[in-house]
Amino acid sequence: MRVTQVSLVRPPGKPTPEALLEAWPTLQDVALATGRAGAEVTVVQPFHRDAELTLGGVRFLFSPKRQTRTVAASRPEIIHVHGLEFAWQTRRLCRLGVPVLAQDHGSVADWRSWRRGWGLRRVAGAAFTHADQAAPFLGNGSLRNGLPVFSVPESSTRFTPGDRGQARVACGIFGDPAVLWVGRLIPGKDPLTALAAIERAAASLPGLRLWCCFHESDLLAEIRKRIAASPSLSGRVYLLGPKPHREIETLCRAADLFLACSHAEGAGFSLLEAMACGAAPVVSDIPPFRALTGNGTVGALAPVGDAEAFARGLVTVANQPAAERRDGVIRHFQRHLSFDAVGERLLSAYRSLA
């Protein structure tokens, strides 16, 4: 099956094709995984000049021209458009007479629905991390009722499991359990619920420690005040601030549990990275997290904003046998969330639409 995956985001500056693929690794990783699954894949990418690369059997076409012409020249049987925001371009691609799959990458179902609906009216299907995420778009007219919707993670991660003990020595974290938070300190990520959950769970887990990585800190002053006012949180919560991405992998390998209290997410890349390294999730019960955890078959899910439920989840998961818990998370990731799993899911969606 000939598949053309279309990126419509033009990169800033004038990078080389190799530098762009290095900066945007998902662009090549998803394409290569789809190729390994059995598709003949071409990727079309807006660029400042014409260029072509072939990696792992996938052809990457870079062009400053209208992407419709480049896509048509690739003779696709399926067109896969990354993003729901590109109404004009998607409508033009639909005119080629080939089924088009539009994949969500964190779009918001808002006032742009009329324009998005005009552009997406003729797509053959849509993909979200969890099919339930399509409901607001179906409800506001962005996507037509009855459209086939597929549950496919946006991407995966290159993170891999490593030796937990070595990782702890390398990054300096400790705890029984050591709980990792990677996310912005903003209301939508709800770090205050996370602190309340840690405070409650500490009564049953005296060795618990929370390690927080963040690069946006709107609530930092309030969080510091909250920690200082709580004898249970003081000395138990460590605010690490921003960390380079390569160090996040070490932190994920060193952690026992991963905590996320988000009210909404498009995909949940930090959760993917943590699970790839074996950290068990205790996360909010929202559609993308349900998709990534197999509806809570690994780790635990808690209602948004419910600190008591998050605390129960932390205690329950922490008390599971550590080696079995870690191995189970890694097996789940490799079977359902790895790049190869994403490639297989995409190929299945393509075949359903062809």
Q: pLDDT by residue (tens digit) across 277-296?
A: 999 999 999 999 999 999 99
What local confidence, expressed as pLDDT, does residue 240 receive? 96
Nearest Cα to Cα of residue 122 among 93, 160, 152 = 93
Output the CA torsion sign for 87, 91, 92, 96.
Answer: positive
CATH class, range 2-156+339-353:
alpha beta
- pLDDT bin (cut points 50, 70, 90) of residue 114 is confident
What does R_g of the chain's alpha carbons equal in angstroms?
21
pLDDT (mean) for 262-283: 96
Q: Residue 113 pLDDT more than 80? A: no
Q: Residue 323 pLDDT more than 90? A: yes
Close Cβ partners of 134 (under 8 Å, ≥ 6 residues apart): 104, 126, 128, 143, 147, 149
- pLDDT bin (cut points 50, 70, 90) of residue 207 is very high
The two tokens of residue 91 are: 């409508």
Q: Which residues pair with 128 in a beta bridge?
A: 151
**Which ranges in the chain are annotated with CATH 3.40.50.2000?**
2-156+339-353, 164-336
Q: Where are the alpha helices (DSSP H) in 255-306?
A: 269-276, 287-292
The two tokens of residue 54 are: 């072939």
3-state secondary structure of 103: strand
What local confidence, expressed as pLDDT, does residue 140 receive? 86
Distance in angstroms between the alpha carbons of the first and the last residue of the chain: 9
3-state secondary structure of 253: helix
The pair phi, psi for residue 125, each rounded to 5°, is: -170, 170
What local confidence, expressed as pLDDT, does residue 29 receive? 97
pLDDT (mean) for 20-28: 94
pLDDT (mean) for 218-237: 96
Residue in this structure with the two tokens 């709980």, named with its chain if needed = 179
Nearest Cα to Cα of residue 123 among 164, 89, 157 = 89
Q: State the amino acid at position 209 in one-letter form.
A: R
The two tokens of residue 148 are: 């086939």
What local confidence, expressed as pLDDT, does residue 18 receive? 96
- The Cα–Cα gap between 245 and 114 comes to 38
- Beta strand 51-55 with 58-63: parallel, antiparallel or unpaired? antiparallel
Q: Residue 302 pLDDT more than 80? A: yes
- The Cα–Cα gap between 167 and 138 comes to 45
Q: Where are the alpha helices (DSSP H) in 126-244?
A: 135-139, 164-171, 191-201, 220-228
Q: Residue 115 pLDDT more than 90? A: no
pLDDT (mean) for 48-57: 95
Task: Tell me what the pLDDT averaged over the chain comes to.
Answer: 95
- The Cα–Cα gap between 307 and 305 comes to 6
- pLDDT bin (cut points 50, 70, 90) of residue 110 is confident
CATH of 164-336, one of 3.30.70.100, 3.20.20.70, 3.40.50.2000, 3.20.20.100: 3.40.50.2000
What local confidence, expressed as pLDDT, does residue 268 receive? 92
What local confidence, expressed as pLDDT, does residue 139 receive? 84
Q: State the amino acid at position 288 in one-letter form.
A: P
Q: State the amino acid at position 180 in one-letter form.
A: L
For the entire predicted model, the pTM comes to 0.93
Angle between helices 339-353 and 322-336 (to 10 degrees): 40
pLDDT (mean) for 8-14: 93
pLDDT (mean) for 185-193: 96
Q: Residue 111 pLDDT more than 80? A: no
